[in-house]
Structure 1
Amino acid sequence: MLVATRTLTTAAKQIARSSSVLGSIRTKHTVPDLDYDYNELEPVISAKIMKLHHDKHHATYVANLNVAEEKFLAAQAKNDIAGQVALYSAINFNGGGHVNHTIFWKNLIGEKNGGGQLHEGALKQKIIEQYGSLDQLTQVVNGKTAGIFGSGWGWLTLNPKGQLDVITTANQDMPSSVGHVPLLGVDAWEHAYYLDYNNVKVDYFKNIWRVINWKDVAKRYDDAVAQIKN
């Protein structure tokens, strides 16, 4: 009973930290529109995968997140701590799915519109400083992402010390859970690549760099650095 009480207390503290955010939510989350057509990322990612990934998988995370938050707010109104704790994992998982995919869509752009092109600037300088070249960075990201056991994400992040970092997260966990700011995410769930690459996920990891929207990644980097300086 003592162990159970301690576990509940820990979870309750996590809920309490997030309740100020959840308590202010009165509008439902929605799936963001894409900035490009479903077929723009071909042949790297097919229109079929994009439509399924965006319209079905992301939409499911959003629907489940809205339901979980409504139930959480109802439990909160009743001061039902156990009920809030029971919903925490659903909010974390579906909320992470929503946030991670929202970043992912922005991280992508077709080759004809600049995909894969890293221009001069602070981010490129930092990549060269820490990794030597963009090619070296991509090898690090691909290596760590390919090593994920099960489902998850590979990330280029800015860590709390202001350095670039390559990390992985399981399932739909977010880099913010370990204090990192996400700059670039690579979805390593099977639904992100299987229809195009079958079980050869390393080809997906290799090819996705052709459609990375480095302008978006660079802006995230600049914004994150500015936040640290402030």
Structure 2
Amino acid sequence: MSFKLPKLSYSYKDFEPFIDEKTMEVHYTKHHATYTDNLNKSICGSDLLNLSIEEILRRANIEKLAVRNNSGGYYNHNLYWKILVPYSEYLSPSQYLNDIIKIYFDSFESFKNKFSSEAMNRFGSGWAWLCVKNKNELTICSTQNQDNPLMLGIGCEGKPILGLDVWEHAYYLKYQNRRLDYISSFWKIINWKQVEKNYKEAIQ
């Protein structure tokens, strides 16, 4: 199987002023593209070649850093692009999803604060995640570098349905060291319809 860079459903400039056009372009055409190319190279000739990306992540040999880093980088960014939306139609969760969030976090505001805190407190590069664990339980966690909750034994297990990239390449051109400002902007461009779809697929 040869993995391909997914096509975006929007242009690089569509997220102004929350994410600048240049950051979007570099993030997609340089960083994600490199993860995609290196993933294909890292599994070439191995028993991982004909597996799906989810199967690779679950079987990723943690000591093989090329597979670990690039399979995570490929999957994580695929999810990230899908849960962004450049317009306001889906900027609030539906009543259905909001009710589920309330079960595990008391309120949407409490969930938002906990997720933001997880993203802010991730030292160095990594990701913050909203995951489905144990069939239907929602949980928040974070991973270092390009690690992913589908990988085993990393202390953040589950099916990710929402992810925030807190590598500097995701925000530094616009926000420099102001990660919190980037996190605050993220809440203005989340496609909650897609997050709900991810949740329903995860609990099947």
Matched, 1:189 2:189: no
Aligned to 2:82: 106
Bigger Cα displacement from structure 2, 180-189 vs 32-41: 32-41
**Match 1:116 to one of 82, 85, 91:** 91
**Match 2:43 to one of 54, 61, 69:** 69
Provide the identity percentage.
Answer: 37
Task: Judge conservation of contact 1:158–1:181 (CA < 8 Å) in 2.
Answer: yes
* Number of equivalenced pairs: 189
Task: Judge conservation of contact 2:135–2:202 (CA < 8 Å) in 1.
Answer: no
Matched, 1:201 2:179: yes
Map of 1:33-48 to 2, 5 A cutoff?
33-48=7-22
**Match 1:219 to one of 194, 197, 202:** 197
Q: Please identify the structure whose Cα radius of gyration is greater.
A: 1
TM superposition outliers: structure 1 runs of 4+ over 3 Å:
71-74
**Match 2:130 to one of 131, 150, 156:** 156
Deviation at 1:126, TM superposition (A): 0.8
Q: Distance in 1 between matches of 2:90 and 2:22?
A: 19
Deviation at 1:115, TM superposition (A): 4.7
Give structure 2 stretches of 5+ with no counterpart.
49-60
Q: Distance in 2 between matches of 1:110 and 1:133?
A: 25
Task: Judge conservation of contact 1:156–1:184 (CA < 8 Å) in 2.
Answer: yes
- Bigger relative contact order (CA 8 A; separation at least 6): 2
Give structure 1 stretches of 5+ with no counterpart.
1-24, 75-84
Q: As a proportion of its length, which structure holds more helix?
A: 1
Q: Distance in 1 between matches of 2:28 and 2:3?
A: 14
Deviation at 1:71, TM superposition (A): 4.8
Aligned to 1:56: 30
Write the letter of the residue equivalent to 1:189: W
Write the letter of the residue equivalent to 1:175: P
Aligned to 1:167: 141
Q: Distance in 2 between matches of 1:86 and 1:204?
A: 30
Q: Report the RMSD for the aligned CA atoms in angstroms.
A: 2.0
Q: Distance in 2 between matches of 1:203 and 1:99?
A: 25
Deviation at 1:182, TM superposition (A): 0.3
Q: Distance in 2 between matches of 1:133 and 1:187?
A: 24
The alignment's TM-score, normalised by the length of structure 1, stands at 0.77
Deviation track 1:83-119 (CA, whole Å, cap 9, x = no partner) reads xx7982201110100000000000100134x252222
Deviation at 1:136, TM superposition (A): 1.4
Write the letter of the residue equivalent to 1:188: V
